[in-house]
Amino acid sequence: MQLHQQISFLSDGSDTVCDLQLYLSPEAKPIVDWFQLSMKLTVLDQYDKGLVHCDAVLGEERREQLERLKWARWHGNLYKALYKIDDIASLIYHCEETYPKFKPLRKAVEELRPYIRNNRHLIPNDGERYRNGEAIATEFVESTVPQMVSKWFCKKQQMQWSKRGAHLRLQTRVNTLNRELDAVFKRWYPDMQVEEIPDTASSPASPCS
C-alpha cells in the first residue's frame, strides 16, 4: 500500500475506526459495511415475524415497509431510507398493547435512525458498487473470526488455546490470506527456500490418479 494510494475501508462507521483508517492512509475512503446494516435489519425482520402472529395485517405491513427500507438503503437513497424508518416507527405504536416484545422493537427502530443519519457521509450506493464488482461487505471475516476464536477457546476440545496463542494464530491466518506468509518466513530465515504453492481455488481440478 502506497502512502497516497486511494483505498476503500469497510467498517461499522465508528469514529475510532475511521480515524485509524485515515491515519493509515490519508487518501482512504471509509465506507459503512453493508453487513453492519443488514444485521440491524435482520433483527427488525425477526421482530416483524413475531408481530405477524399478534396482528397479521400490521405485521405484513411492517415487513413491506422494511423491504422498502432495504431497497432505499441498497441504492444509497438515504433520504427515502430515513422516511421509511419514520413510517415503520409510526406503525409499531399500534401494537404497543398487544406485542410482548414492543419495547426492544421500539429500541431497535429508534437506534436505526441515528445510525443512518450520523453515517450518511459514509454510506455508498451499494447496488452500484456491487454491479461494478466492488466490495460491499466483509461478512466472511465477521463470521469467520468469532467461529475460529470460539473453537480455540472451547473447553470441550483436547487442547484449549491461550489468548496469546489465539492472537498469533489469527495473525498467521491473516498473513496466509494476504499471501504474505512466505515473505515473513524469508525475513526470519533469509537462506530458506520457499516453494511456490499453486492457487487451487482458481485452478481447474486435476483428475484423481
Span 100-130, pLDDT tens digits = 888 888 888 888 889 999 888 889 899 998 8
pLDDT value of position 156: 60
pLDDT band of residue 208 (cuts 50, 70, 90) is very low
pLDDT greater than 80 at residue 35: yes
pLDDT greater than 60 at residue 34: yes
pLDDT band of residue 77 (cuts 50, 70, 90) is very high
Specify the amino acid at residue 155: K
pLDDT greater than 50 at residue 55: yes
pLDDT band of residue 200 (cuts 50, 70, 90) is very low
Domain locations in the chain as residue ranges:
34-122, 139-188
